[in-house]
Structure 1
Amino acid sequence: MGHRHPSKLKNPEVSHARARWLLRAELAGCDACRAEGDEDALSDLASGGVFDSLITGFVLSRVQQWHSPSRPSQYPATVYRIAPIDERDFWRPPTQHCMRVCTVTGAGGDGVDTLPALRELRLMSARDRSLVLDDVIDGLAETEG
């Protein structure tokens, strides 16, 4: 596209340049760029790719929000297990499935093993993949807002 979407993103875990571009397009409400970025994400299911970067950023930002001293989590743990019930209920079924196999790692929940989720995404229909992408982008946009 011939234009830019200026924005300082708060989520440094979304490290892939194209993933960051897609998130800025979402925040700017640019439908044309969002469609182009969605296409890029849906076709790049490699480790370190666009979708991987989005999932990683989503999980790490959410883990920080979910942290509660009264309900400490022990890692490794699946994202689905540590997410609050109201959050899990908000996710569509394909996203719930991906979050059941995506694992938060590290002593403080500062890492994410997305490989099983990426593997599951490759097995999903294009429609289900796009539902997961929508949930992830919506969650990232919430943390940026």
Structure 2
Amino acid sequence: MATPQMQFEFPSAAWGVSLVDITNTGITRGNGKQRNQQRNWETVLQTAGILTQIVVLQQPELHSFTGEDNFTNSQLYNIIGDKHKFQLQMMNPDINIWTFAIGSEHRDVFGQNFSILHETFNMIPIIPDLDNTIQLNPSV
């Protein structure tokens, strides 16, 4: 999770950056690709919901990069902050990244530097092989 560059009117807010396909399709039945994308998004919501009743401040948004401009012209590059920009430039030049934002009405619920939120997401299983461009083995 990255420190928000834009201000939200919540005591706690976090931007999320995912290399896993968390597209919010709204599909709640079946077993197809769109249902599995929705399942991954629901996993994000349920995992963050362990800490607090979250408010979705921004739905997942897909950013696809080819690396031709070193990502510097993308909205994501401006959102994630200076700390992560070098890491983004070193990534696979052809990559899909999803961004979203969540908040809580409770101050400091995500921990200092989002440490509690990071730990909560550690080893949470996801459904792989959707529109993500990374290989996850095992898929946690």
Q: Does the alignment reach a TM-score above 0.5?
A: no
The structure with the greater share of residues assigned to strand is 2
TM-score (norm 2): 0.32
Q: Which has the higher contact order (CA 8 A, sep 6+)?
A: 2
